[in-house]
Amino acid sequence: MAKMTVLFERCKGCGLCTTACPKHIVAISKEKRNKKGYFTAACTDDAACIGCAMCAMMCPDCAITVEK
């Protein structure tokens, strides 16, 4: 099973990862902000993640890692 991890403080919530996900399971979380004031990306369904790492490739800040 794949696991997507977002480095909370590095993410600026640009949303590029949300458009790159083929399963549409990455979204910008509206619950809390990081120290810079951004809402960050999060995986909405870890079980559905296929580990393609498209989200990580699209991230301009290298804030996403995908482990299989």
* Tens place of pLDDT per residue across the chain (68 aa): 889 999 999 999 999 999 999 999 999 999 999 999 999 999 999 999 999 999 999 999 999 999 98
Output the pLDDT for position 63.
Answer: 97
Can you give the pTM of this predicted structure? 0.90
Selection from 45, 51, 44 nearest residue 65 by Cα:
51
CATH number (domain holding residue 39): 3.30.70.20
Contacts of 24 (CB under 8 A, 6+ apart): none
Alpha-carbon gap, residue 17 to 55, rounded angstroms: 4
Q: Structural domain of residue 58, as residue ranges?
A: 3-67
Total tally of structural domains belonging to the chain: 1
Output the pLDDT for position 31.
Answer: 93
Q: How far is CA 56 from CA 7, 30, 39, 48, in A?
A: 11, 20, 17, 16
**Kindly report the CA angle at 15 between 10 and 18, in degrees rounded to 5?**
115
